[in-house]
């Protein structure tokens, strides 16, 4: 069995903790000696209503009240992801909740530590198995509801399967593997790889491999795959700290190009030199011909929260160099419902969240502003404290938005009508210098 990873676990989580993601001063909140309550909401504010609690995430014995890492909607069901593969909290239950009644259904038991996110292809959900409870050279892969029933695809050896993608009839898996042939791939014990299957997952081949050249156990990995039309984008992270080029696959041919302005496709937020982050696409969605990424702007002239937008087929000067559109808070998640793109953002104190919408990915309107509900009380000395739960994930169906929180709960928020754009026009100001 895989058990605990020999690596430092917190350095490898797919979704950073809420403290890292939004700058919430959690330790300061816990140290307070009084009850913390959200500020009063205005009459126009949306009122979050508790929709469901993910019991397996909430009642986990290793890490109780885990965040809802991702939400997806298929056929009137709201699917929820959770887990912590650093702490080995699995097996992981793939739960869904009926949008009309809230009734819970346990769809599948994944024999792995976490479901970090779902992917949807041809109307079917896929959940990459981030940390399977199997040997590092065993065939592993993903859980999926394709074909009408949930099942597991034991595809090919991986240590960690961080993402799955599909273009036409071709499947891709991304993550980290033990080096299968040092005569071919060099002396590194582990590789960041992307594997491909053209027969529905029956057989797999290594399509792209990168490594830091170290024979030591490390973190050479592909964390994320982004599909834009007929093109696949990915960017490896390596132990040597060297920023890797963006790898692009189209029609069976690979090419590379540099990231621009500190914005890339690694799927992670990286500490920056100006006290903020260099955004590398941890929240990325392709919408209306644009690649939209939620992130921060940190530059010598100031800082801000927003999204980065670039046409999927255009790279000025050969680089990925998107424009920037401001948002009311740091973007936590992106979700598409039909012809509308939604963004969930949160203020720096973690008390207020915003839902914005766009029909082009460039101009945005604020559709809901709400005070984050209080989490469960806990004792601190002789004082009982309740902190606001953090917004963690988003799904939208019609006029209803669903918010996955940092404490295993899901709230429903009714969206207001679309109004005139409430965010500034995009700029081309870069997010700041790059740093390991």
Beta strands in 49-101 (DSSP E): 49-53, 70-74, 77-81, 92-98
pLDDT tens column, 341-368 = 999 999 989 999 999 999 999 999 999 9
Q: Which residues contact 86 (CB under 8 A, 6 or more apart)?
A: 5, 9, 10, 12, 13
Mean pLDDT of 127-145: 97
Residue 191, H or E segment: strand 190-197
Q: What domains does the chain contain, in order, with CATH numbers?
A: 44-80+267-419 (no CATH), 118-251 (2.120.10.80)
pLDDT tens column, 299-339 = 434 567 889 899 988 887 788 888 889 999 989 999 999 99
Of the two residues 4 and 179, the one the predictor is more confident about is 179
Q: Is 245 helix (H, G, I), strand (E, B) or coil?
A: coil
- Band (417; pLDDT cuts 50, 70, 90): confident
Q: How far apart are CA 427 and CA 324, in angstroms?
A: 5
pLDDT over threshold 60, residue 436: no
Beta strands in 226-322 (DSSP E): 226-228, 231-234, 236-237, 246-250, 253-257, 268-271, 277-280, 284-287, 290-299, 302-311
With vertex at residue 298, the alpha carbon angle to CA 294 and CA 302, rounded to the nearest 5 degrees, is: 125
Q: How far apart are CA 405 and CA 53, in angstroms?
A: 10
The whole-angstrom distance between residue 358's C-alpha and the CA centroid of its chain comes to 20
pLDDT (0 to 100) of residue 8: 34
Which structure tokens are listed for 67?
């965040």
Which range has the worst mean pLDDT, 209-218, 240-249, 340-349?
209-218
Which structure tokens are listed for 42?
């205005």
pLDDT over threshold 90, residue 369: yes
pLDDT (0 to 100) of residue 6: 37
> Which residue, among 353, 350, 360, 256, has the nearest Cα to 307 in the 3D structure?
360
pLDDT over threshold 70, residue 274: no
- Band (216; pLDDT cuts 50, 70, 90): confident
pLDDT tens column, 177-209 = 999 999 999 999 999 999 999 999 999 999 999
With vertex at residue 12, the alpha carbon angle to CA 145 and CA 203, rounded to the nearest 5 degrees, is: 40
pLDDT (0 to 100) of residue 317: 76
Mean pLDDT of 413-417: 92
- Asked whether 257 and 270 are in contact (CB, 8 A), the reply is no
Strand order in the sheet with 160-167: 160-167, 170-178, 190-197, 205-210
- Band (419; pLDDT cuts 50, 70, 90): low
pLDDT over threshold 50, residue 236: yes
Mean pLDDT of 90-112: 97
Whole-number mean pLDDT of the chain?
Answer: 84
With vertex at residue 304, the alpha carbon angle to CA 298 and CA 306, rounded to the nearest 5 degrees, is: 105
pLDDT over threshold 80, residue 35: no
> Which residue, among 392, 331, 381, has the nearest Cα to 361 in the 3D structure?
331
Q: Is 419 exposed, middle or buried (0-12, 13-18, 19+ CB in 10 A)?
A: exposed
pLDDT tens column, 59-93 = 999 999 999 999 999 999 999 999 999 999 999 99
């Amino acid at each position: 069995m895989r058990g605990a990873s020999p690596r430092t676990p917190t350095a490898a989580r797919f979704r950073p903790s809420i403290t890292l993601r939004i700058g919430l001063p959690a330790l300061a909140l816990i140290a307070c000696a009084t009850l913390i309550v959200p500020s009063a909401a205005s009459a126009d504010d949306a009122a979050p209503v508790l929709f469901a609690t993910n019991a397996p995430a909430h009642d986990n014995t290793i890490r109780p009240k885990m965040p809802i890492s991702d939400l997806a909607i298929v056929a009137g069901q709201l699917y929820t992801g959770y887990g912590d593969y650093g702490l080995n909290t699995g097996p992981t239950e793939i739960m869904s909740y009926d949008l009309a009644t809230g009734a819970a259904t346990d769809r599948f038991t994944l024999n792995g530590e976490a479901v970090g996110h779902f992917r949807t292809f041809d109307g079917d959900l896929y959940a990459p198995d981030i940390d399977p409870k199997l040997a590092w050279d065993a065939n592993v892969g993903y859980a999926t509801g394709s074909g009408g029933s949930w099942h597991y695809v034991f595809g090919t050896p991986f240590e960690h399967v961080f993402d799955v993608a599909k273009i036409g009839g071709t499947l891709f898996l991304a993550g980290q593997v033990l080096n299968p042939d040092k005569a071919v791939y060099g002396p590194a014990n582990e590789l960041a790889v992307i594997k491909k299957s053209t027969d529905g997952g029956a057989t797999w081949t290594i399509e792209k491999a990168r490594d830091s050249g170290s024979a030591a156990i490390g973190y050479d990995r592909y964390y994320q795959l982004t599909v834009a039309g007929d093109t696949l984008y990915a960017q490896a992270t390596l132990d040597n700290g060297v920023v890797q080029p963006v790898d692009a696959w189209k029609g069976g041919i690979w090419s590379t190009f540099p990231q621009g302005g500190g914005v890339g496709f690694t799927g992670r937020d990286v500490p920056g030199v100006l006290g903020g982050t260099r955004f590398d696409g941890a929240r990325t969605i392709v919408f209306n011909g644009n690649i939209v990424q939620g992130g921060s702007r940190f530059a010598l002239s100031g800082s801000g929260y927003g999204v980065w937008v670039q046409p999927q087929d255009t790279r000025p000067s050969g680089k990925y160099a998107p424009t920037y559109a401001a948002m009311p808070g740091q973007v936590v998640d992106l979700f598409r419902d039909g012809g509308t793109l939604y963004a969930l953002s949160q203020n720096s104190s973690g008390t207020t969240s915003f839902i914005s919408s766009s029909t082009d990915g460039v101009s945005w309107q604020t559709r809901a502003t709400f005070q984050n509900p209080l989490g469960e009380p806990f004792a601190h000395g002789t004082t009982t404290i309740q902190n606001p739960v953090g917004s963690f994930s988003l799904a939208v169906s019609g006029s209803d938005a669903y918010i996955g929180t940092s404490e295993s709960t899901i709230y429903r928020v009714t969206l207001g009508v679309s109004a005139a754009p409430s965010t500034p026009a995009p700029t081309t100001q870069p997010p700041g210098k790059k740093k390991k």
